[in-house]
Amino acid sequence: MTSDEFIEILKQKSLLTVISDELDVNLEIPHIAYLQARREIPKVLLFTNPVDKAKNIKYDIPVLMNIFNKNTLDIIFPQGIESIQQEIKELLQPKKPSNIFEKFEMLKTLFSLKHVFPKKTIKKLSQEVVITQNIDLEQLPILKTWQEDGGKFITMGSVYTKSLDGKKVNVGMYRLQVYDKTRLGLHWQIHKDSNHFFHEYKKAGKKMPVSITIGGDPLYTWAATAPLPIGINELFLYGFIKKQNPKVIKSITNDIYVPYDADIVIEGYCDPSEMEIEGMFGDHTGYYTLKEPYPVLNVTAITHRKSPIFYATVVGKPPLEDKYMGLATERIFLPLLQTQTPDLVDYRMPENGVFHNLILCKIAPLYKGHSLQIAHALWGVGQMSFVKHAIFVDDKAGDLNDYDAITRHILQRFHPKNILISKGVVDALDHASDEMLVGGKMGIDCTADVVENTVDVIDDEQLLQAIKLMDESVIALKQYYRDTPNPICVIQYNKKQKAYDLFQKLLALKNHLRIVVFVDQHQNDVNDAYMLIWRVVNNIDASRDVFLDEIVGIDGTNKGEIDGFQREWPHDVNCTKSVIDNLQKRGLIEVTDYEYKMFIKDYHGE
């Protein structure tokens, strides 16, 4: 499926909005896409007249955004995500055929694996136009998404690399910062496969070939994000799902093979001795990633179709497009995860938990401590090793998609003695740990019986007044699930002291409290449970911010000098108010009061 074919299907299904107004690649286009992605029924957006007002550039390449949403998954995965999951499960756990028909079915399934291998072709859609002289990345409508971003970033590029000996191939999706006309920053983090290859080249003192594709079948883009074992070419997964061999061609200036029908290909090499500061960048955590040195891609060629489409995405505070990309990954990879943890029945990675910050697991417990054993297993499996907080329920619990019912189920069975706090690797984007790449992890076993309810619940106003008598810094509070044995009390306060100091005062109210969560005064709303979860699981390091006493405390505040926190704490990712106001005045967007409060910041006209 080419980008043209994808767009045509979107038009037929009335899932595409074409915006022909001249719109700036700097903030305007990304802000429109950001707000649209948050809508209940989001549309795919095609911007046909992108411009760079500051540089007086008019681009002739349209920008396509919000490709992945609840309405497009059936187009991108036409056989159905659950069907793909079942097929993988049957491959991993084949049952012995009992009759001739089942034998034929098994042979049919095994025969279909011939489609996984990339096949070289003479078709060259992605090389209809070849540029090897006067290369200029500014001729592509690359976006600056957020006010504090370090520049423009390619956000939906599939990065193709291979090991030094050529035996292993990787496709990953990493953000790519534009430094100048011929250089890009490659944000492949220390745990990523491409970074492993990079160190092979560095040790050998050789330049590393890299090719980046943009566009084509959206399944290419999703496959690039798939958490496959190192050395497994992500195009294998594309072929497995499509039931056809992915067709590839050799890059013009290096020996990397890429899909023949990509819209745009950027080729080049990395010199392992060349590093440059990359960032800041408003990332999928909803916080800015701070500046760090990363490898540089020196561009040797740009090739593209005669009429290419530029794919881009916006990441930031949820829910956004990555929610649906993550949903597909979560469902399709459940059988693979179960090979490592066979008693894992199901799992969910809520998007407001930023996927790696919170996971809900349903297991079939066989003995005491079984859930904690699975927690350790998960923390040692590929990208699951980045998970910070895992909550376990038994197989009698309800649908994990019913977050209200599951939360109630958890709070009916929660007991502090069943909390495991450990330490391990965390994502490079995690900002809460005291040291980069290593931080606290928490597993909570809620597979036991319902606990006794001994809390004496009082109403919010009465509780607020009692706490204010102890400490005037408290501004607001709200209690959630007051009818369970473990109500959650969210306390918002003006932070002039450690949350732990305030927690110690609250022990005097232990008869009325069970779980207390502390958040800052600014940009939090005690009535917004969805964003509170996002904030808290982002901001805590379990080894430092979970207080276990006669009640449980969780410090979800921003950390700084008061806390003895030595690292730089990043800012929230927010839209720029002046840009939003201008777009609204032009009739291009509608903004709610809630969005103004939670997702828009006044940068004083910058």
Place of tokens 């990043």: 570
Work out the average pLDDT over 570-578.
Answer: 95
Contact 159, 195 (CB under 8 A): no
Contact 6, 218 (CB under 8 A): yes
Contact 449, 427 (CB under 8 A): no
Contact 268, 137 (CB under 8 A): no
Q: Which of 420, 424, 413 is nearest to 444 (CA)?
A: 420
pLDDT digits (tens, 9 = 90+) for 528-548: 999 999 999 999 999 999 999
Strand 389-394 versus strand 359-363 pairing type: parallel
Yes or no: is domain 460-563 CATH 3.40.1670.10? yes
Contact 327, 69 (CB under 8 A): no
pLDDT at 48 over 80: yes
516: left (phi over 0), alpha (psi -120 to 50) or beta: beta
pLDDT at 209 over 90: yes
- Number of neighbours of residue 128 by Cβ within 10 angstroms: 12
Yes or no: is domain 341-445 CATH 3.40.50.1100? no
Residue 268 CA: distances (Å) to CA of 23, 94, 554, 581: 30, 43, 47, 40
What is the C-alpha to C-alpha distance for residues 135 and 349, in angstroms, rounded to an integer? 41
Contact 65, 44 (CB under 8 A): yes
What confidence score (pLDDT) does residue 606 get? 47
- DSSP one-letter code for 246: P
What confidence score (pLDDT) does residue 40 get? 87
Taking the CA atoms of residue 446, residue 447, residue 451 and residue 456 in that order, the dihedral angle to the nearest 10 degrees is 20
What is the C-alpha to C-alpha distance for residues 6 and 218, in angstroms, rounded to an integer? 8
Work out the average pLDDT over 80-109.
Answer: 70
Q: So where are the chain's domains?
A: 3-79+110-311, 341-445, 460-563
Length of the chain: 606
pLDDT digits (tens, 9 = 90+) for 321-364: 999 999 999 999 999 889 888 899 999 999 999 989 999 999 99
pLDDT at 568 over 60: yes
Average predicted confidence (pLDDT) for the chain = 93
pLDDT category, 381, cuts 50, 70, 90? confident
DSSP 3-state helix, strand, coil percentages of the chain (rounded to 5)? 30, 25, 40
What's the distance, CA 249 to chain centroid? 30
What is the C-alpha to C-alpha distance for residues 15 and 45, in angstroms, rounded to an integer? 9
What is the C-alpha to C-alpha distance for residues 600 and 238, in angstroms, rounded to an integer? 38
Place of tokens 């969560």: 517
Place of tokens 């919170």: 358
Helix axes 28-37, 577-585, angle to 10 degrees: 80
Q: Which of 149, 217, 283, 572 is catalytic?
A: 283
pLDDT category, 89, cuts 50, 70, 90? confident
The first and second tokens of residue 579, run together, are 């840009």
- Number of neighbours of residue 56 by Cβ within 10 angstroms: 7
Q: Which of 455, 469, 548, 452 is nearest to 505 (CA)?
A: 469
Taking the CA atoms of residue 273, residue 274, residue 279 and residue 283 in that order, the dihedral angle to the nearest 10 degrees is -60
Helix axes 81-92, 322-332, angle to 10 degrees: 30
pLDDT at 406 over 50: yes
The DSSP bridge partners found for residue 270 are: 208, 297
pLDDT digits (tens, 9 = 90+) for 487-544: 999 999 999 999 999 999 999 999 999 999 999 998 899 999 999 999 999 999 999 9
What confidence score (pLDDT) does residue 157 get? 96
Three-state secondary structure of 413-431: HCCHHHEEEEEEECCCCCC
Fold of 3-79+110-311: Pnp Oxidase; Chain A (2.30.110)
Please confirm, yes or no, whether 60 is among the known catalytic residues.
no
Q: Which of 513, 527, 464 is nearest to 493 (CA)?
A: 464
What's the distance, CA 228 to chain centroid? 16
Burial 353-384 (b: 16+ CB within 10 A, else e): bbbbbbbbbbbebeeeebbbbbbebbbeebbb
Work out the average pLDDT over 87-106.
Answer: 64
Place of tokens 């992108």: 50
C-alpha distance across the termini of the chain, in Å: 42
What's the distance, CA 352 to chain centroid? 10
Contact 429, 289 (CB under 8 A): yes
CA atoms within 13 A on the CB side of 241: 29
Hey, do 3-79+110-311 and 460-563 end up sharing a CATH topology, with the first three levels equal? no
